[in-house]
Amino acid sequence: MTLKDDADDGIMPYTMHVSARYLELTRKKLELTRLPRELELPDQRKWDYGTPKAVLEPIVDYWQEYNWRDQETTFNNRLPQFRTTVNVGLSSTSSGDEARRKLHFAHTRSSAERAIPLLFCHGWPPSFTEVIKIIDQLSNPISTPPRGSQDALGFHVVAPSIPGFGFSDASSGETFGLRKTAEIFDALMKRLGYEEYVAYGGDWGFKICRMLALHHQSSCRAIYTNSPDVPPPAPRIAPVAYLKYQVARLTRGRIPFLRFGYTPSDILAPSRTQRERLSNKPFEDQSFRPQTTAHSLCDSPVGLLACMLDAIRPSLSLKQWSNTDILNWTMMHWLPGPEAALRWLRQASLEARKDCWKRYSPTPLGISSFGKLAEEPISSPPPWTEGWQRLCWLRRHERAAKWPAWDAPEETVIDLRECFGEMIERRLLVFHDTSLVREE
């Protein structure tokens, strides 16, 4: 899987502009909306069957007044965007033209003297726009808060859209998932001149980062994530980490010298199977038959909005969301159509179960662990990751956040700077290209 090297396939600036005809079609579909009847339930159970009408209907009304052109202008002004041609390697029978797709990404270079390349991997249901609250602070640490200073570590930020999401062309390959996404993203970084880089992703974005750590460790030098969902340490793969967990579990994390990084609340975390059963992610529930779901959502903006609300519901309690924010996230799936993202989610789900946790990766890992959101299953205990990767940095936050780049941007910026900064100081993160980070 490669980026095309032809002269006419270079990196070209890109400006969002959705056709007026498609926006008018969306408006007409909204006008023709028919909402279903629902059960009468007490307030504390109003989400038990999915997105309630009382939550959905006001946003549908707002959507008819929502101005996409204003949002386009904001995105175009705040996120420098580009597209380039990639070869997604569909199958052995695909021709070169069939495998060529346009990859969309945002890219901002840092003005700081100490700056390293950062690959931002979004997941689902976010899109590349998730980076909008942190990109300026990461790339310009001197002039922007939080804690701006002359010595702050800066980042050259690259935020691609997964093929089929946002403004990246979709792959028509059946097996396009986490690993092939990681291959394309790694090739993009090298095409931009970043032979070595660090990566950040949460949720599904973390699983892309995990594939980078497993298969592209010579270029992806370290990764950072938040509250990752991982299996417990396996005795065959990481016997020491396994024994540490068993000892902490037996003592319930209450004996300081036998905790090994665990806390009592970590020991009470539900099993991975329990967390999957408690999950209320509608797309993931349908991910093994994506075409059925696509027939419903491709033609119904309100149906897609209802699924989006159900997916982001835990984060809504943080009061970070305006109706415009919710619709912006929904539009990133409505505009290209949700079918490619659903297919990607199906393959990603298969790979996450089979391929993400086959072996240990020595690539350095940093974690910010945020508090539990209401209605959200408890995440894996952070020390579990020691069974799968080289855990080098961990910070626990009491504050709750589902997508910290969006829900807790200031904490995320500080943690990214300090995580990778400390890794560099401790020589856990080493770049062969010494020009990336100036030695003090």
The full set of domains in the chain, from first to last, is 70-232+271-425 (3.40.50.1820), 237-268 (no CATH)
> For helices 323-334 and 53-63, what crossing angle results, to 10°?
80
| Residue 435: band (very low, low, confident or very high) from pLDDT cuts 50, 70, 90 | low
Q: What is the pLDDT of residues 22-80, one digit of tens each?
A: 999 999 999 999 999 999 988 888 888 999 999 999 999 999 999 999 999 999 999 99
Q: Could you tell me which of 163, 158, 159, 160 has the C-alpha nearest to residue 89?
A: 163
Which of 49-53, 285-289, 392-396 has the weakest average pLDDT?
A: 285-289
- Classify 439 as helix, strand or coil: coil
Residue 284: the pLDDT is 54
Q: Could you tell me which of 161, 103, 106, 182 has the C-alpha nearest to residue 138?
A: 106
Q: How many Å separate Cα 281 from the centre of its chain?
A: 15
Q: Could you tell me which of 166, 68, 88 has the C-alpha nearest to residue 125?
A: 166
Which residues are bridge partners to 288 per DSSP? none
Which has the higher per-residue pLDDT, 318 or 254?
254
| Residue 439: band (very low, low, confident or very high) from pLDDT cuts 50, 70, 90 | very low
Rounded-to-integer distance, Cα 194 and Cα 218, Å:
12
Does the predicted model carry a pTM greater than 0.85? yes
Distance (Å) of CA 363 to CA 214, 232, 336, 392: 8, 18, 35, 9
Asked if omega into 146 is within 30° of 0 (cis), the reply is: yes
Positive or negative torsion for Cα 189, 192, 197, 201 = negative
Instruction: Tell me the CB-side half-sphere exposure of residue 194, using CA atoms within 13 A.
Output: 25
Question: What are the φ and ψ backbone dihedral angles of 367, each rounded to 5 degrees?
Answer: -130, 135
Residue pair 146/413 in contact by the 8 Å Cβ criterion: yes
Q: What is the pLDDT of residues 176-225, one digit of tens each?
A: 999 999 999 999 999 999 999 999 999 999 999 999 999 999 999 999 99
Tokens of 425: 């100081």
190, amino acid identity: K
Look up residue 291 and give its DSSP letter: H
